[in-house]
Structure 1
Amino acid sequence: MDIARPELKQRKRRRQLTLSAVVVGLVAAAGIGLAKLGPALPSVERSSVLIDTVKRGELLREVRGPGTLVPKEIRWIAAETAARVERIVVKPGAAVEPDTVILELSNPELEEQLLAAKAAVTAAESDLAAKRTDLKSKLLDEQSALAAATSDYETARMQAEAEKSVAEKGVIPAVQYKKSLVTLEQLKTRMTIEQQRVTEFGHNIAAQLAAEQARLNQLVGTRELRQRQVDALHLRAGIAGVLQQVPLEEGQQVAAGTNLARVARPGELMAELRIAETQAKDVTLDQPVRVDTRNGIVEGRVLRVDPAVQNGSVQVDVELTGKLPPGARPDLSVDGTIEIERLPDVLYVGRPAFGQPDSEVRLFRLDPADGVAARVPVRLGKSSVNQIEVSQGLAVGDRVVLSDTSAYDQYDRIRLK
Structure 2
Amino acid sequence: MAVAKRFAVSDNQTESDAADIRHIRLHAEGALSPMDVPRTQGRRRVGKLVAATVAVVGLAAVTAYVATLGPALPTVPADTVWMDTVAHGEFVRDVRGPGTLVPVRRRWITALTAGRVDEIRVEPGAEVTATTALYRLSNPDVEVQLLTVRQQLSDAEAELVTLASNVESNELAQKALIAQVRTQYLEATHRDEMNRELNAKNPGLVAEFDLARGRELVAELENRLGIETRRLDVLADSADEQLSAQRTQVGRLRSIVRFNEERAAALVVRAGIDGVLAESGVEEGQWINAGETMGRVVQPGRLKAELRVPQNRAGDLAIGQAAAIDTRNGMIDGSVSRIDPAVRDGTVTVDVSLVSDLPAGARPNMSVDGTVVLERLDDVTYVGRPANARAHERVGLYRLDDGGEVARRVSVKLGRVSANHVEVLEGLRPGDRVVLSGLSALDEHDAVRIER
- Fold in common (TM above 0.5): yes
Q: Which whole-Å CA distance do the structure 1 matches of 2:417 and 2:335 have between them?
A: 21
Partner residue, 2:229: 195
Q: Which whole-Å CA distance do the structure 2 matches of 1:174 and 1:323 have between them?
A: 114
Query: Which residue of 160, 172, 184 corresponds with 1:140?
Result: 172
Once the 2 structures are TM-superposed, how far is the Cα of residue 170 of structure 1 from its aligned partner? 8.2
Once the 2 structures are TM-superposed, how far is the Cα of residue 136 of structure 1 from its aligned partner? 0.9
Once the 2 structures are TM-superposed, how far is the Cα of residue 131 of structure 1 from its aligned partner? 0.8
| Greater radius of gyration (CA) | 2
Once the 2 structures are TM-superposed, how far is the Cα of residue 407 of structure 1 from its aligned partner? 1.4
Could you tell me whether the CA contact under 8 Å between 1:285 and 1:302 is conserved in 2?
Answer: yes
- Are 1:333 and 2:367 matched, yes or no? yes
Relative distance call for 1:385 and 1:166 in structure 2 (3 A) is same
Q: Which whole-Å CA distance do the structure 1 matches of 2:142 and 2:62 have between them?
A: 105
Relative distance call for 1:15 and 1:178 in structure 2 (3 A) is farther
Once the 2 structures are TM-superposed, how far is the Cα of residue 376 of structure 1 from its aligned partner? 0.7
Relative distance call for 1:322 and 1:11 in structure 2 (3 A) is closer
Partner residue, 1:281: 315
Relative distance call for 1:47 and 1:404 in structure 2 (3 A) is closer
Once the 2 structures are TM-superposed, how far is the Cα of residue 336 of structure 1 from its aligned partner? 1.3
Query: Which residue of 68, 77, 84 corresponds with 2:116?
Result: 84
Partner residue, 1:403: 437
Could you tell me whether the CA contact under 8 Å between 1:95 and 1:243 is conserved in 2?
Answer: yes
Relative distance call for 1:152 and 1:289 in structure 2 (3 A) is farther
Partner residue, 1:361: 395
Query: Which residue of 250, 265, 283 corresponds with 1:216?
Result: 250
Query: Which residue of 49, 57, 62 corresponds with 2:81?
Result: 49
Letter in 1 for 2:102: V
Relative distance call for 1:177 and 1:349 in structure 2 (3 A) is farther
- Are 1:100 and 2:108 matched, yes or no? no
Once the 2 structures are TM-superposed, how far is the Cα of residue 186 of structure 1 from its aligned partner? 4.7
Partner residue, 2:71: 39
Q: Which whole-Å CA distance do the structure 2 matches of 1:160 and 1:295 have between them?
A: 113
Deviates more, 1:69-78 or 1:374-383: 69-78
Relative distance call for 1:249 and 1:175 in structure 2 (3 A) is same
CA deviation string 1:116-169 (max 9, x = no partner): 222222221111101110111111122223333444444455556666767777
Partner residue, 2:349: 315
Could you tell me whether the CA contact under 8 Å between 2:80 and 2:438 is conserved in 1?
Answer: no
Letter in 1 for 2:179: A
Figure out how many residues of one structure are paired with residues of the other and give that number: 417
Deviates more, 1:161-170 or 1:140-149: 161-170
Letter in 1 for 2:409: R
CA deviation string 1:182-228 (max 9, x = no partner): 65555444333333322222221111111111111222122222222
Partner residue, 1:112: 144
**DSSP 3-state at the match of 2:251:** helix
Identity %: 41
Relative distance call for 1:105 and 1:162 in structure 2 (3 A) is same
Relative distance call for 1:160 and 1:327 in structure 2 (3 A) is farther
Once the 2 structures are TM-superposed, how far is the Cα of residue 268 of structure 1 from its aligned partner? 2.0
Once the 2 structures are TM-superposed, how far is the Cα of residue 340 of structure 1 from its aligned partner? 1.2
Could you tell me whether the CA contact under 8 Å between 2:95 and 2:374 is conserved in 1?
Answer: yes
Deviates more, 1:353-362 or 1:171-180: 171-180
Once the 2 structures are TM-superposed, how far is the Cα of residue 181 of structure 1 from its aligned partner? 5.8
Could you tell me whether the CA contact under 8 Å between 1:56 and 1:396 is conserved in 2?
Answer: yes
TM-score, normalising length: structure 1: 0.88
Task: Extract unaligned runs of 5+ from structure 1.
Answer: none
Partner residue, 2:379: 345
Could you tell me whether the CA contact under 8 Å between 1:167 and 1:174 is conserved in 2?
Answer: no
Q: Which whole-Å CA distance do the structure 2 matches of 1:329 and 1:167 have between them?
A: 113
- Are 1:267 and 2:306 matched, yes or no? no
Partner residue, 1:75: 107
TM-score, normalising length: structure 2: 0.82
Partner residue, 2:291: 257
Query: Which residue of 233, 237, 250 corresponds with 2:267?
Result: 233
Partner residue, 1:384: 418
Once the 2 structures are TM-superposed, how far is the Cα of residue 304 of structure 1 from its aligned partner? 1.9
Deviates more, 1:76-85 or 1:374-383: 76-85
- Are 1:127 and 2:159 matched, yes or no? yes
Relative distance call for 1:404 and 1:2 in structure 2 (3 A) is closer
Q: Which whole-Å CA distance do the structure 1 matches of 2:428 and 2:215 have between them?
A: 124
Q: Which whole-Å CA distance do the structure 1 matches of 2:394 and 2:331 have between them?
A: 35
Q: Which whole-Å CA distance do the structure 1 matches of 2:178 and 2:269 have between them?
A: 61
Once the 2 structures are TM-superposed, how far is the Cα of residue 334 of structure 1 from its aligned partner? 1.6
Q: Which whole-Å CA distance do the structure 2 matches of 1:174 and 1:388 have between them?
A: 128
Letter in 2 for 1:126: A
Deviates more, 1:57-66 or 1:170-179: 170-179
Once the 2 structures are TM-superposed, how far is the Cα of residue 412 of structure 1 from its aligned partner? 0.7
CA deviation string 1:229-251 (max 9, x = no partner): 22222222121111122212222
Q: Which whole-Å CA distance do the structure 2 matches of 1:303 and 1:161 have between them?
A: 95
Once the 2 structures are TM-superposed, how far is the Cα of residue 261 of structure 1 from its aligned partner? 2.5
**RMSD of the alignment, in Å?**
3.3
Partner residue, 2:19: none
Letter in 2 for 1:38: G
Letter in 2 for 1:255: N
Could you tell me whether the CA contact under 8 Å between 1:353 and 1:404 is conserved in 2?
Answer: no
**DSSP 3-state at the match of 1:278:** helix
Letter in 1 for 2:381: L
- Are 1:305 and 2:342 matched, yes or no? no
